[in-house]
Amino acid sequence: MRVARSKGLPQRAVLLRHVLRNSLVPVVTLLGLSVPAVLTTGLVVEYVFNFPGLGLTYFNAAVNADYPVELGVTVVVGIATVLGSLLADLAYAVLDPRVRYG
């Protein structure tokens, strides 16, 4: 930041190019890994307000011992976990030019 300021860049450019890009890496990590949590934490709201959703479907399948539905929901949450991690990794390459893949 000191170098960018000493070059005469405006404060907005320093914040956007240097500060924001470096500070977004941990945020992207948390967002990428919280994708499955968004799918599964809706269970309480779905159960209380009787909204049809993935969490309520999983809960009803667990109560009724419906194993194929439980397995299907588990696979969907697993795929969401993998896709969230993949999108976070791809966002790393966009945000931080030091990250190289391949």
What pLDDT shows up at residue 64?
94
Which bin fits 33, alpha (ψ -120 to 50), beta or left (φ > 0)?
alpha
Other Cβ atoms less than 10 A from the Cβ of 46: the count is: 19
Domain ranges of the chain: 25-95
- pTM for the predicted model, two decimal places: 0.67
Per-residue pLDDT reduced to its tens digit, 60-77: 899 999 999 999 988 988
Assess whether pLDDT exceeds 90 at residue 57: no
Query: Is residue 31 within 8 Å of 85, Cβ to Cβ?
Result: no
pLDDT higher than 80, residue 38: no
Q: Of 69, 63, 72, 73, whose CA–CA distance to 36 is shortest? A: 73
**What type of residue is 13?**
A
User: Is-contact 74 57, C-beta < 8 A?
Assistant: no
pLDDT at 34: 84
Give the model's confidence band at 84: pLDDT under 50 very low, under 70 low, under 90 confident, else very high: confident
